[in-house]
Amino acid sequence: MANFLLGRLVQSLVLLFIVSVIGFAVLHLAPGGPLAQFALTPGISHAELARMAHQMGLDQPLPVQYWAWLRRLLGGDWGHSYRDNQPVLAVILGRLPATLELMATAIVIAVLTGVWIGVMGAIRRYSIFDMLATIGAMIALSIPTFWFGLIVIYIFSVNLGWLPPGNRSTIGGGGGILDYLHHLIAPAIVLALVEVAVWSRYMRASMLDVINQDFIRTAHAKGLPARTVLWHHAMRNALLPMIALAGVEMPTLLGGALVTETVFTWPGMGRLLLDSLGYRDYPVVMGILMVSALLALLGNLAADLLAAVADPRIRLR
Amino acid sequence: MEDDPRTDRTPRLVTPRRRLLAAGAATGAMAWLGPKLGWVAQAHAATPPAKPTGQIVIGFSQEPTVFQPLLPHIEVDEGVYFNLFSALWRVDATGALQPDLVAEIPTVANGGISADGTHWHLKLNPKAKWHDATPFTAADVAFNIALIQNPKFLAGRRAGIDLIEQVTVIGPHELRFRVKKPYAPLSAILSWTFLVPKHLLEKVADINKPEAFLAHPIGTGAFKWGERVPGDHITLTAADSYHGVGPYVEKLIFKYIPDMTVLYTQFQTGTVDYVGIQGISPDRYAAARKLPDRIVAPAPQPFIENIAFNLGKPVFQDRAVREALYLAMDKKSIIQEIYYGLPTETESFLPSQSWAFNPKLPPHRFDPAKARALLDAAGWKPGAGGVREKNGVRLEFTNSTTAGNHTREQAQQLLQQNWQDIGARMSIKNLPPAVMWGDYWTYSKFDTTMVGLDFMVGPDPDATQYFGSGGIPAKGGGGDNTTQYVNPEVDKLLAQGAAEVDPAKRRPAYLRMQELTRRDLPYLPIFQYAMVQGVKKGLVGFTPNVNVQENSWNANSWYWAS
């Protein structure tokens, strides 16, 4: 186990380094820059922009800029945002809770609903429920999250007035726990929708694999109740591939949060990334890239560890 | 980020509103009475509450992020500055200067400015205090001037302030300074120079990153800092010690909603009380007007929508080409069909509300036949593919603007057809904002662009940055003359206009200049923008102001009619 962890740590560091080099190069080689936002601002002349670019080091060769960034990062300094001059780590950590809150809720909804639909679909294969679930999953996978979000707002906020049209809490309203939960319903469901479809399809396939295996037949032959066979024997085995799925789905959820956070004006990492990309806020984009890469690596590592714990046949070396 | 800030700006109002705006500003209560009358004073304005009451939520599609107003910032930041900070004076909706941190506006008549415009004497408002209760003094003004002039400081705007020298603090509320040469736009520049406290900033380790101040800025405005939830909102709260009118509401909240559709929805559902900056997009104007308990109407902005030529390209060096393209432009269809009839057609680079605006410029006519004849006469003959050519140069070019701006894309497509009809081939090459307005725009790497520009310095018509021959970045200049326009007479007029303090004497220079730019057409002027403003009914005091970047400029006097 120790060797496995050490190996993964080295792999992760190499990967993070590669991600940082590619990310930095792509970001900086793309045309445009952080000062473009001021180009049309009345009163700011080109001469002043050129002076700013020099003072910010943006006129330095790319390797010099990268080395300066990396050296600061290794020293624990993630740099400062070009937009609001706040430390990058503080900016990211300030947004992380909102995204985690949304993602965690969406994961819970997606896993519980998706697993249940998948299991039911498998044991009642080709039933009306199964067919409806299949069609529903296809629709959910095909609908753009952005559009679905707007439809939810239109129906439940504009027409029915049941749910707020966005935001994390009532503006200027203090925000009690119920207020937060009320605001969380719509974005969490919208973000979870695609994941429900994915989880239900994977779960259905996995369950179908398991329930046709010999040990399930044996369990039935032993006279075990159908419920015990299903939830105790079949389910535990069918869930094993889902652990790996959870690991790789982490970046997908982050991507979905990007859109959901924009539609529901949710002040999370997704919105921060979009804004920072738009303004070419290099330090923040690089910070988010590194944090996201780290989360993805941790997600996969956690999935591997969990799989080993859950499945005695797996040995980590 | 949805579109470029200057993208979805919608069209504007009818001109004779100036007098009406003045009336509205006087009473502080505005109402929209339709396109003929515009925003006017309400007949029976409610009275403001005895103490600050309630809150107002302002929706912005861009996020205010810079809270040191002397650092580089964009227009949305100024929406906050007007309420958190103060300048020496502010420009009202009529274009007149109103005292803010000064006790009186310095003029030649009251001895505040010498007859030659080089010596200034300021008397400050003794009631003004910083939000931490420290008195605002002349030393603060001197500190701000020195800070802007400090070469190590990343000042966003230095022009004009860099001419100030020999600042002498006479007393706590009085100071004098000298200006190296008479410079008329200085008053306008000082109206958007929001002052920061000396006692908090003079000792910070890195003057470009005053972290503590940026996290909790202290100003002298009607509202003090409450909280900022990054990416979401900023809350300002009423400042008890404010030296001016108001404030009448307890909280002023700036809510950031990047998507215009979502912003509109939140206005529709009542979450947002006023839609600021880009306002409501023109295609929603008709629907928005029908919303119950909302007042939705266009208000003029200083931005002029143009086609900018890169005169460094051989194809545009022939004036006949620019004139022909202008004749072949179906301007009315752009305004009526694409911008829903909201903007006002213009021939000038100045908004019609400016005192220097020239209303007698030759009106544009949509005349493709004349355009063709003009090109024929100039030797541009149809060549391969129907595209005209002259001396091996084809009348073929690209037009660029911010990618994703659907309204502009439609206008581009219409122009493409218009110009194809006269043998000019235009292809559309739109780019993301950070690319479009970077080196591509600054160093004149484009052929033509579709761009909304405010050529003025606040309310001042000085447009040296855009038309002065010394300001071409592609030729090493420090201005914004990206069309690379050179006209010695324009240079002379700009210098003359900037050096004269008396507006009456300045005006002829700007009138003539507008004639020259209308003749030379470095830009094809299309229209003056108006923004569709949406406010919740009952919000009293809202006053659109063409002289500022954002209409929250006087939120200190806003309140809810009970």
From the list B326, B331, B354, B351, the residue with the least C-alpha distance to B341 is B331
A96 touches chain B (CB under 8 A): no
Whether ipTM > 0.85 holds is no
From the list B421, B300, B440, B407, the residue with the least C-alpha distance to B372 is B421
Of B259, B451, B457, the CB nearest to A42: B457
For residues B453 and B305, give the distance between their C-alpha atoms in angstroms, rounded to a whole number. Answer: 7
Closest chain B residue to A34 measured between Cα atoms?
A: B434
To the nearest 10°, report the CA torsion of B55, B58, B63, B64.
-60
Residue B2 lies in a domain: no
Residue B260 lies in a domain: no
For residues B155 and A4, give the distance between their C-alpha atoms in angstroms, rounded to a whole number. Answer: 53
Q: What is the CATH number of the domain that holds B371?
A: 3.10.105.10
Which residue's entry shows tokens 């493709």? B368
pLDDT at A82: 86
CB count within 10 Å of CB B415 equals 26
From the list B398, B458, B456, the residue with the least C-alpha distance to B431 is B398
From the list A266, A301, A244, the residue with the least C-alpha distance to A105 is A266
Q: Cβ(B96)–Cβ(B187) under 8 Å? A: no
Angle between helices A269-278 and A88-123 (to 10 degrees): 120
Of A36, A84, A158, the CB nearest to B268: A158
Q: What is the DSSP string of chain A?
A: -HHHHHHHHHHHHHHHHHHHHHHHHHHHHSS--GGGGGTTSTT--HHHHHHHHHHTTTTS-HHHHHHHHHHHHHTT---B-TTT--BHHHHHHHHHHHHHHHHHHHHHHHHHHHHHHHHHHHHTTTSHHHHHHHHHHHHHHHS-HHHHHHHHIIIIIIIS--S-SS-SS-TTS---HHHHHHHHHHHHHHHHHHHHHHHHHHHHHHHHHHHTSHHHHHHHHTT--HHHIIIIIIHHHHTHHHHHHHHHHHHHHHHHHHHHHHHTT--SHHHHHHHHHHTT-HHHHHHHHHHHHHHHHHHHHHHHHHHHHH-TT----
Q: Cβ(A168)–Cβ(A180) under 8 Å? A: yes
3-state SS of B146-214 is: HHHHCCCCCCCCCCCHHHEEEEEEEECCEEEEEECCCCCCHHHHHHCCCCCCHHHHCCCCCCCCCHHHH
Looking at residue B227, what DSSP letter applies? E
Domain count, chain B: 1
pLDDT band at A314 (very low <50, low <70, confident <90, very high): low
- Burial zone of A123 (CB within 10 Å; 0-12 exposed, 13-18 middle, 19+ buried): middle
Structure tokens at B233: 């909102």
Residue B462 lies in a domain: yes
pLDDT band at A256 (very low <50, low <70, confident <90, very high): low
Q: Cβ(B433)–Cβ(A278) under 8 Å? A: yes
Q: Which amino acid is at A54?
A: H
Residue B250 lies in a domain: no
**Mean pLDDT value of segment A172-188:** 84
A312 pLDDT more than 90: no
Span(s) in chain A for CATH 1.10.3720.10: 88-310
Structure tokens at B154: 């990343």
B454 touches chain A (CB under 8 A): yes
B5, A40: Cβ pair inside 8 Å?
Answer: yes
Residue B313 lies in a domain: yes
H-helix segments, B246-307: 260-268, 285-289
Q: pTM (2 decimals)?
A: 0.80
Our CA-based measurement puts residue B191 at a distance from the nearest CA of chain A, in whole angstroms, of 12
A166, B1: Cβ pair inside 8 Å?
Answer: no
Three-class secondary structure of residue B272 per DSSP: coil
What is the distance in angstroms between the CA of the first residue and the CA of the last residue of chain B?
Answer: 37
pLDDT at B19: 30
Cα B431 to Cα B378, B399, B419, B515: the distances in Å are 33, 10, 22, 33
H-helix segments, B177-314: 186-191, 198-201, 211-215, 260-268, 285-289
Q: Say how far residue B75 (Cα) sits from the centre of its chain.
A: 8
Cα B536 to Cα A166, B26, B276, B550: the distances in Å are 19, 21, 12, 17
Of B231, B232, B441, the CB nearest to A39: B441
Closest chain A residue to B67 measured between Cα atoms?
A: A84
Which CATH number applies to A88-310? 1.10.3720.10
Which residues does A139 contact at the CB level (< 8 Å), separation at least 6?
none
A274, B258: Cβ pair inside 8 Å?
Answer: yes
Q: Cβ(B430)–Cβ(B400) under 8 Å? A: yes
Our CA-based measurement puts residue B278 at a distance from the nearest CA of chain A, in whole angstroms, of 15
For residues B557 and B559, give the distance between their C-alpha atoms in angstroms, rounded to a whole number. Answer: 7
B264 touches chain A (CB under 8 A): no
Residue B86 lies in a domain: no
Low-confidence ranges of chain B (pLDDT < 50): 1-44
For residues B39 and B299, give the distance between their C-alpha atoms in angstroms, rounded to a whole number. Answer: 8
Domain residues for B445? 301-530
B429 touches chain A (CB under 8 A): no
pLDDT tens track for A135-175: 988 888 888 888 888 888 888 888 888 888 888 888 777 66
Half-sphere CA count of B440, side-chain side, radius 13 A: 25
pLDDT at A315: 64
Mean per-residue pLDDT over chain A, rounded? 85
B434 touches chain A (CB under 8 A): yes
Of B233, B451, B473, the CB nearest to A171: B233
* Cis amide leading into B351 (omega within 30): no
Of B68, B256, B434, the CB nearest to A36: B434
pLDDT at B11: 27
A31, B479: Cβ pair inside 8 Å?
Answer: no
Q: What is the DSSP string of B35-98?
A: TTT-EEE-TTPPPPPSS--SEEEEEESS-----STTSS--HHHHHHHHHH---SEEE-TTS-EE
Q: Which amino acid is at B185?
A: P
Task: Tell me the pairing of strands B425-428 and B396-400.
Answer: parallel
Residues 74-103 of B with CB under 8 A from A: 74-75
Of B159, B440, B465, the CB nearest to A31: B440
Our CA-based measurement puts residue A69 at a distance from the nearest CA of chain B, in whole angstroms, of 17
To the nearest 10°, report the CA torsion of B34, B37, B42, B48.
90
Of B208, B230, B261, the CB nearest to A267: B230
Residues of chain B contacting A44 with CB distance shorter than 8 Å? 72, 156-157
Judged by phi (left if over 0) then psi (alpha if -120 to 50, else beta), residue B473 lies in alpha
Range with the poorest average pLDDT among A3-12, A243-252, B377-386, B469-478: A243-252
Residue B343 lies in a domain: yes
Q: Cβ(B442)–Cβ(A46) under 8 Å? A: yes
Which residues does A171 contact at the CB level (< 8 Å), separation at least 6?
B57, B233, B253, B255, B271
pLDDT at B211: 84
B271 touches chain A (CB under 8 A): yes
Q: Which amino acid is at A276?
A: S
pLDDT at A316: 60
CB count within 10 Å of CB B427 equals 12
Residues of chain A contacting B231 with CB distance shorter than 8 Å? 95, 267-268, 271-272, 275
H or E segment and range at residue B321 = helix B319-327
Our CA-based measurement puts residue A153 at a distance from the nearest CA of chain B, in whole angstroms, of 8
A47, B456: Cβ pair inside 8 Å?
Answer: no
